[in-house]
Amino acid sequence: MPTLRLLEEKEIIEAVADLNKIYPYIPSLVLWRAWEYAAYRHYRLQDPTLDLACGDGQFFNLVWGNAGRVMGIDIDEQVCARARASGVYAEVRQTAAHELPFADNTFASVFSNCALEHMDYIDQVLSEACRVTQPGGLFIASVVTDKFTEWELLPLLEAKLGNATRARELKEVYEEFHHIRSPFTIEEWIARVENAGFAVNDYYPIAPEPFGRIFMLLDELWHVKGEKTEIGQDMYAYLSGLSNFSEGMQDIVGGLLKLSPNPNVGAGLIFVAEKRKL
């Protein structure tokens, strides 16, 4: 049976300062990534490592800057170009995650940060991740859960104000913007990962209620379209003028954690698994 792991308040708060180095003045990203960063620091990746849907490499470098040979893959060629320019990866390939161009048992570790839920062929992706992982190798990833979509506050507020049509539009636009395809329960995520050939050893809930709801509201507001740009650009311009932003965010995170009485259920999930040995 997988072991439920709960992060300490101090770990999450301390993560905020480091995250502000790469996500300055973006509150929603800092709130969410603080959980991931704090959890990942309990583990070490073995070479060679595959970063599945690598993005620009900034977050990987922050967490595991001393990693050895790391391969990155992403579906977006522009993202791949930024990943190559980062110097984090030995090689970056543009490819779909459900059709990995690697031989069986290639990697000692596979990592995927907040990406699996966006993929259209999730069971094939998980099977491919298992195929290219060495027996006994590590698979660590973060994903969103069913609570991510359930706890959307902005559509709820619009509905309470009597704007049912606007509420539906906001929900649909937000979920399509993020390409949310697999907001599974914690239990279903674990079952699918294990059905692919892994054994889940540990799991960490991310952003329990109301922490998760406040994150959702901030992220939804950030992406609301204004006349010319997203509201987030105006928010960024304002927040970047606050010299004590990092310290203030640490205080906010501490307060939200104290207000979140059930840490066992969150808007997201980190799972740590290993490929079953033959």
Whether the pLDDT of residue 11 is over 90: the answer is yes
> What's the half-sphere exposure (Cβ side, CA atoms, 13 Å) at 46?
12
pLDDT computed for residue 177 by the predictor: 87
Rounded CA gap, 112 and 100, in Å?
14
Q: What is the mean pLDDT of residues 136-156?
A: 96
What would be the CATH architecture of the domain defined by 3-146+180-219+240-275? 3-Layer(aba) Sandwich (3.40)
Q: Rounded CA gap, 271 and 42, in Å?
A: 12
pLDDT in tens, 150-201: 999 999 999 999 999 999 999 998 999 889 999 999 999 999 999 999 999 9
pLDDT at 255 over 90: yes
> Does residue 138 contact residue 274 with C-beta atoms inside 8 Å?
yes
Residue type (1 letter), 214: I
Domain boundaries, given as residue ranges, for the chain: 3-146+180-219+240-275
Amino acid 227: pLDDT:
77
Long-range residue pairs from 74-81, CB within 8 A, at least 24 positions apart, any chain: 79/54, 79/55
Asked whether the predicted pLDDT for residue 203 surpasses 90, the reply is yes
Rounded distance between C-alpha atoms, residue 54 and residue 74, angstroms: 6
pLDDT over 80 at 278, yes or no: no
pLDDT of residue 225: 83
d(CA 244, CA 2): 40
Which tens digits make up the pLDDT trace of 17-69?
Answer: 999 889 999 999 999 999 999 999 999 999 999 999 999 999 999 999 888 89
Cα distance between residue 242 and residue 251, in whole Å: 15
Give dist(CA 81, CA 87) in Å, integer.
11
pLDDT at 124 over 80: yes
In 3D space, the residue among 70, 24, 22, 9 whose CA is nearest the CA of residue 45 turns out to be 70
